[in-house]
Every structure is written in C-alpha cells, then in structure tokens.
Structure 1
Amino acid sequence: MNWISPLRLHRAGILSMNRRNVDYIGRYNDRSSYPLVDNKLKTKLLAAEYEVQTPKLLQVVRQQHEISHFRELVEELDGFAIKPAKGSGGKGITVITRREEDRYIKASGASVSLGFLERHLSNILAGLYSLGGTPDVAIVEDLVQPSASLAKYSFQGVPDIRIVVFQGYPVMAMLRLATTDSDGKANLHQGAVGVGLDIGTGHSLNAVQFNRTITLHPDTGLPLSDLRIDDWNHMLVMASRCYEATGLGYMGVDLVVDAKAGPLLLELNARPGLAIQMANGRGLLTRLRTIEKLKRPHFTPEGRVSYAMEMFGQ
C-alpha cells in the first residue's frame, strides 16, 4: 500500500478519525443525546414525533415470556426483521424474506426454524449483541421491500443510503449495496459496495469495494454510473429533521426506499464512519468547515437542504 502524507490528505480535505472524534463528534455531540440513537426503539419513537417515517413496528420483546407472543405473531407473517435495540454494526439483525411451510428463509437464502428465531430473541434479551453486553430488548419490524430501481443493483440484501448530517445540513451521501462478500449485508467493511451520491441530484459519482474503485457491481454486473435516487430532496429533508429530533451536530442517517412506503429511516449513528469519503472520491473536511463558517445558519430542514444541494452539488 502506498503511503500518503498527512499533509496531502489534509490538502485534499480528508477528515481523519482523530479529527472526527475530537473536532466534530466530541465538540458537537452532547453525550446525553447518545441513548436516543444507540437504541433503535427510542429512535423509532422519536422519529415519529418529527414526522420521519420508519418501518412498521410489529412487536417489542422485553421479557422472556413475551417470546410466546412472537410465535403467535409470525404465524400471520411471510417476512419480517428482528433487531436488537442496542445492537451496533448490524450485529444481531436477522431478516426473514419468506416462509416455506415450517421454515423461515433468511435474506442470505439459508433456512431456519422457529426454534432458532426464538433462541435468537433470547440471545438479544441477554445482551449478546448490545453495546457493552447489557440486557436488551428485541424489535420485530415489518419487512422492507426495496424499490425495484435499487433492488436490482444489490445482491440479496436491502440497499441503504447513508447521509452524513452536520449541524442539520446534509454534507455527503452514499448508497450501500450488498454483495456475496458482505453476505447480503450493506456493510462496507465486510465487502459491500459504496456508491458516492451527488448531494445536489442523488446521481452516482463514484463506486468502491474494499477501498478500490469499481465500475460494475461484482455480482449483478450492472454499471454503477447510471444510478439515481428518486425522492432525493425528500430524503435529504428527512435526514435534516433528525438534527432537531436528536440535537446531535454530527451524525449518520441511514435510510431505505420501500417499494410501497417510500423513504424510511432505518437508524441513526452518532459516530458515522469515514468510508463515505472513499465512496465519494472527496473529503468531508472542506464541507464541514463551510458549514462552520456560516454567519446566518438556516433554521428549517428545507432551508438547510436547499443550501446544501446548491453548495455541495456537483
């Protein structure tokens, strides 16, 4: 791997992890707000207050005895998602796409039994996937059916959109596409594809996998230069509203586009990663400093989005 000097990275506007932690997360994120985003159930309830739509909540499992209600619930369902409320990095999330008699088919294609799902719920309650191993609650949500225009690009998993929001302004975005390497999950560190998106239009700019530039999806073979996200302005406004909802000055907002419900909030992240810079082929630092220098900040999500689209659009 070629060594790149810190000075060169700085000149390119690349935000380093240390600077992110100290100058942005540490400075702009009040720790009292962290529980709002580290707990998916709290995030869902909070989002509803600010008219940010999320996947339909089917059940909350807080105690072992409530797992029996889950057994009754899934008899009526073909697809659903189980998530630990305090899980991180996608750990503990199980997505069931369909049912075949007494077997439940995961997004990866593997089949599991009802007993497996019940044990998984028990593990979530025990804190197996939670931050710090603390006891947790399990969320059962309606299955997201991704829009056909995006689903065709992703391998098995649901494609999602990460938007970095600073002081309420959407400053950078990328589309994450699952691959065979990522086991159907939209996690860049596991091998998902990151597609940088133009803040001004929602068009694709650049695509990477394992930090290498690519032009075609490794599994579907589709070109990644033709992508365009529908309802782009609406998605940016949703992301911007999360600033008022949480008070977090620097965060990642993860959205999906459901075929019927449209854009939905998946989760919020108070410590968003920096791979989005690689996907976009440009650094965050210049954009963050542009917002910091604003003498007259915009007080509505719509105003902040209009400014960001004009200032950061390609």
Structure 2
Amino acid sequence: MRHIVCLVLSFSLLAGTASFAEAPQTQSVDKSPSQADKKNTTRKPRKKKPAPFAWVNPIPKQRQHSSLKHGTFQSPSLKHEVGYAILLPPGYTDGEPDKRFPVVYYLHGGRPGSESKSIALVPQMHSAMESGQVPGMIYVFVNGGPVSHYNIPGEPTKQGADVFIKELIPHIDDTYRTIADREHRGIEGFSQGGRGTMRLSLRYPDLFCSAAAGGGGYETERKISESGGRESATLVFAEGDNAWDLARAYSKAKTPEVDWMIYVGTKGFNYQDNLEYMAFLKSLEIPFESIVVPDVPHSGLKIYEQRCVDLMRFHAANFGLLDTAIKDE
C-alpha cells in the first residue's frame, strides 16, 4: 500500500524514526504549550443534553445533498430497522454501471449520536472527489447505537459495534457497488468515533486495511483498561475491549497489517492524550501516521476544513488508487 508523503510523518521504531519528543505533525508545533495553551487543551467543553437515541434518523433538511442518501436495513439481532447515511461518489449513478468503489465507514462522535451527526462533512468530501483531488469512494455514516460504537455485555439492545460489523457492512456490500474486500475497506471517525475507529480496527484487522482515528479519548480508554472494563459507576464494558488492551494484543502478531492515521487539533481538550497514545503505539512498535493541526479545537469539521483532501487521500492511497504520493503545496 502506498503511504502519504507530506508533512504527515510516520511513527515506527522498526524504521528507526525520531523519538517521541519529535512527535509527528504537519506544521511546526511547540511541544511546551504556554499556560494559556494548557488551559485550552485541557478544558473540556460543556456537555449539552443529548437528544433521545433512535436507531433511524433521516437526514435533516439543512444537511441534504444530491449525492447523500439515507437508507435502512432490518437488523437480525434487534428485529427492527437501523439507519445509515451513504455518500455516493460522482459517477456512481450516471457513470459506468458495473464500476465498483472502495468504501470508508465513518463513525460519529457524541454519545449517543446517530447516522446524521457527522454528515456536515459531506460537502467537502463530495467537492474533493468531484474536483478530481480524490478518487471516487463510497462513504457510509454509521449509527453507533446507544453507547456509541460499543457493545454492552448482557444488554442485547446495546450492541452497537456488532450491529455495525456483523450487519451493516454485509448489507452495504450486498446493496451497493462496493469492492467487498479488506483491501478496499476503511474506517474513520472523530471523538467517540475516533475511539471506535481505533478499537474496532485493532479488533478486526481482517476487515479494514485503512483506519483514521480523529481526536479519540484515549485517557478514558486507558482508565477502562486499568479498571477491568469500567468507564463509570454505571457503564462497564467487556474486559479488554479498549484501545490499550487491544493494541497490546495486536502488537504480538501485527497482522493483518493495517495502515493507521491518528489526527488531532492542538487546541483539542484531549490533544495531550492523543500524543501519549501515539507514544504508546510507538512503544509497541505499531507503525502509524499522524496529522496534528495547529490551533484547531476538538472539532472534526474544523480539521476537515484544513485537511479533508489529505485524510481522504490517505484512504485512497491505502486502497491502491493513487499513482503518486501527496505533496503539500
């Protein structure tokens, strides 16, 4: 697979790369933030009261796009419909009728969230493909369930990870013109979706060749690891189902090989946590690439405003769709 070459750097002890003090970044970033910066990077935003969870969430009027569709499928485990949004690439409907496309599954942030939570990225994604900056790919926006992208032991209605992995992926491959193999399947997400992206790609490396995890809450994942699965007094996951333990398990074999990207803004409240998780992956000799965006808060949309093309081309390169590596202008 081709890797992006630009100001995105790759961590790998096997390749003899720089020490963690020279953390990968796309622009020069001061590793010793001022007091003001520390406040900006550590203060979490106020939590808004989440909307009631629903498995089906049509696309809001203000987010509708000509290439974005909403679909549902009948979940065998839940016995009712589950929604998803799907961005079809230019040429899908009026191009070659037999042409197939790689697919990236995008995991939303928030808890709970829904399949419509992250579709504000669609105009940028579509524009990048329509302009020819990025090859055509299908993007599927996933509904992560009541506890975003996790399974809750013993609660059949809260198996968001299984509904995605075991039910949604087969439905998409059966319904749309995907290239239905791991070499053409990617996963991405931000915040809760970043946690889910890292966790699920480590758990299922046989399903994904490309994984871009944005702004994940890795300190929370570490606490889950250290507490035997407990995130809070009322929320307990299966032991080992976290980004730290799964990375340790993957490091023993490092196969199948996954191309990982970790991206984060320097003003994000969990920026330092992301740097620490990168150091952890490096200690396990798990290679990855990174994008660190200066002066951007905890916002997938704001990161996409600057690096949409680079993130999309990361997947495209891993799918073997690019003849040349990226070079920043």
TM-score between both structures, scaled by the size of structure 1: 0.27
Higher percent of residues as strand: 1
